[in-house]
């Protein structure tokens, strides 16, 4: 997977020159499967159109700004594969530190921030040179990464230290460690940039950080579907609507997502999905949510108007993330 032919690299360079105004959404849905080492591509009718063989253990995925390329962190080969959305082929890759899990682009997409799980570091890679320009020590097993819209601050979770590290991007210094619940995993930022939500898998909690002060706001939040115990709930992935009114939270072993009023924190609906709901993403018109279910090897499609599941689609072994090109 590491050797890429010159023609593919040429195609990649050509793609980089295409203005974003000409990039049209394909409507394709991309799912990374950790154990079958592939990204599965579904069309708008939820039919599988391609299985793209990747490096080993694909996990987190993000598009570039115009959605011509899809970046996929592959933890067991220490690489981020790059998929051309038009051809559905791997056209390049970026070497990383050990076990890349989650990553984020800087707002200008000139840098890539990667949590390297096995060496407990946040790696910053220059996208032009593909060279690691910073290696920032964190607590053990970093995972969630988020870069603020102004590009000045990055946040990274440490699963073992039960902390969120606040990083000054200019210096690479950790300026604050925020103690949260047990095994913090992922972030979402509210659209107004004021709140950073943190999922804590093993304490079944959500913490909300005030980004102006980097202090915890209020008490932690706990969401338990009827018939489940608190210890059954292992929250991980989240999504937020564009207007900031709703947060979707995957509840892991509780096999549900919670649709939450972002202001009152009331649960609008618990939606039954597959086994170990792991990550969730929204279509651009927010009419559908897509949930990756790690232990039932499928994704669940949720109708947001009725807040009900409408379809489950088998995709492969241990789906990790789902993203939509729309």
Q: What is the pLDDT of residues 100-123, one digit of tens each?
A: 999 999 999 999 999 999 999 999
User: Are the CB atoms for 301 and 310 separated by under 8 Å?
Assistant: yes
Neighbour-count burial for 87-112, b at 16+ CB within 10 Å, e otherwise:
ebebbbbbebbebbbbbbbbeeeebb
- Give the separation between CA 218 and CA 1, rounded to whole angstroms: 47
pLDDT in tens, 182-213: 999 999 999 999 999 999 999 999 999 999 99
Token duo for residue 75: 């933890």
Three-state SS at 68: coil
Would the pLDDT of 73 be above 60?
Answer: yes
Output the DSSP codes for 205-235: EEEEEETTTTEE-SS-B----TT--GGG---
Q: What is the pLDDT of residue 25?
A: 83
pTM above 0.85, yes or no: yes
SS3 7: helix
pLDDT tens figures, 272-318: 999 999 999 999 999 999 999 999 999 999 999 999 999 999 999 99
């Amino acid at each position: 997977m590491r050797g890429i032919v010159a023609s593919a690299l040429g195609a990649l360079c050509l793609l980089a020159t295409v203005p974003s105004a000409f990039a049209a959404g394909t409507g394709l849905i991309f799912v990374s499967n950790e154990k079958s080492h592939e990204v599965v591509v579904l069309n708008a009718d939820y039919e599988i159109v391609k299985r793209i063989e990747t490096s080993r253990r694909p996990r987190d995925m993000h598009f570039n700004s115009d959605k011509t390329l899809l970046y996929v962190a592959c933890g067991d080969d220490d690489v981020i594969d790059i998929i051309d959305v038009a051809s559905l082929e791997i056209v390049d890759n970026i070497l990383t530190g050990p076990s890349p899990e989650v990553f984020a682009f800087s707002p200008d997409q000139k840098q890539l921030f990667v949590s390297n799980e096995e060496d407990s570091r946040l790696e910053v890679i220059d996208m032009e040179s593909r060279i690691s320009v910073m290696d920032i020590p964190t607590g053990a097993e970093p995972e969630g990464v988020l870069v603020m819209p102004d590009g000045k601050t990055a946040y990274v979770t440490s699963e073992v230290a039960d902390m969120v590290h606040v990083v000054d991007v200019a210096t690479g210094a950790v300026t604050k460690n925020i103690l949260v619940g047990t095994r913090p995993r992922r972030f979402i930022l509210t659209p107004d940039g004021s709140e950073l939500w943190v999922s804590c898998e093993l304490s079944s909690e959500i913490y909300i950080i005030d980004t102006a002060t980097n202090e915890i706001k209020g008490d932690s939040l706990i969401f338990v579907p009827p018939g489940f115990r608190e210890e059954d709930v292992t929250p991980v992935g989240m999504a937020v609507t564009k207007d900031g009114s709703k947060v979707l939270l995957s509840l892991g072993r509780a096999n549900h997502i919670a649709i939450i009023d972002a202001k009152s924190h009331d649960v609008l609906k618990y939606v039954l999905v597959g086994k170990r709901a792991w990550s969730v993403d929204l279509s651009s018109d927010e009419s559908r949510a897509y949930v990756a279910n790690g232990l039932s090897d499928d994704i669940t499609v949720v109708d947001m108007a009725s807040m009900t599941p409408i379809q489950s689609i088998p995709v492969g072994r241990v789906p990790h993330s789902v993203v939509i090109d729309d």
